[in-house]
Chains A and B, each alone.
Chain A
Amino acid sequence: QQQVKQSPQSLIVQKGGIPIINCAYENTAFDYFPWYQQFPGKGPALLIAIRPDVSEKKEGRFTISFNKSAKQFSLHIMDSQPGDSATYFCAASINAGGTSYGKLTFGQGTILTVHP
């Protein structure tokens, strides 16, 4: 059972476009929602993260929108560049104290291609 469902599986945009990747979660106990970027053969790198007490967070060209009632969150990449071409994973964890925030449940990933 996939606790975090991510869509689309792949996405192609032109340079300057605004790709949007969506995630939905089942477990209402999740309270930490990071997005990771992964290039081939590399480890995931944290892009941006949000907690359910805010509805939007922006860092540079990356924005997370969060809808707690719908149990959904999404990543928007403004002014996308070819260098943004990578696999993007949403994730969720429960911050129950200790190191539990690092026990991440990942979505299935979205392969983003940004054409020049």
Chain B
Amino acid sequence: AAGVIQSPRHLIKEKRETATLKCYPIPRHDTVYWYQQGPGQDPQFLISFYEKMQSDKGSIPDRFSAQQFSDYHSELNMSSLELGDSALYFCASSLMGISGNTIYFGEGSWLTVV
């Protein structure tokens, strides 16, 4: 079965640079969630989108922005990168109203800021 696809899987950037992560949800899923997991930490909710509109917002820094496109894929844009942004970024998807509230996580994108 198709899963959530994230790209790139690994990314190395320097401080103050910009990074963009992409997420392709499971086909027919209409909702995308972004999470950040620091080393040895639990995942922290950043932001979510339903039908291309922002639906919930968590602890997402102002330097970060995200959107969901007409094909339901989503991109997380991170600017003015800081060392503390180094983390594993997960995208998850779900189909609202179906699948018993299950959200499915991708394998994550490793961002290292040097």
Q: Does chain A have a CB within 8 A of B102?
A: yes
- Across chains A and B, which 10 residue pairs bring their CB atoms closest together, nearest first? A43-B105, A106-B42, A101-B101, A102-B103, A99-B55, A103-B56, A99-B31, A99-B50, A102-B33, A44-B105
Q: How far is the CB of B99 from chain A (nearest CB, A)?
A: 10
Q: How many cross-chain pairs have Cβ atoms below 8 Å apart between A and B?
A: 66
Interface size class of A (residues with CB under 8 A): 20 to 34
Assess whether B107 is in contact with A41, with CB atoms less than 8 Å apart.
yes
* Chain A residues with CB below 8 A from B42, complex form: 89, 106-109
Given A49-B101, A99-B56: A43 touches B94 (CB 8 Å cut-off): no
Q: Which residues of A contact B44 (CB under 8 A)?
A: 106
List chain A residues, Cβ under 8 A from B58: 103
* Contact residues, A37-67 vs B (CB, 8 A): 41-46, 49
Chain A residue nearest in CB terms to B58: A103
A100 at the interface (CB under 8 A from B): yes
Q: Closest A-chain residue to B50, C-beta based?
A: A99
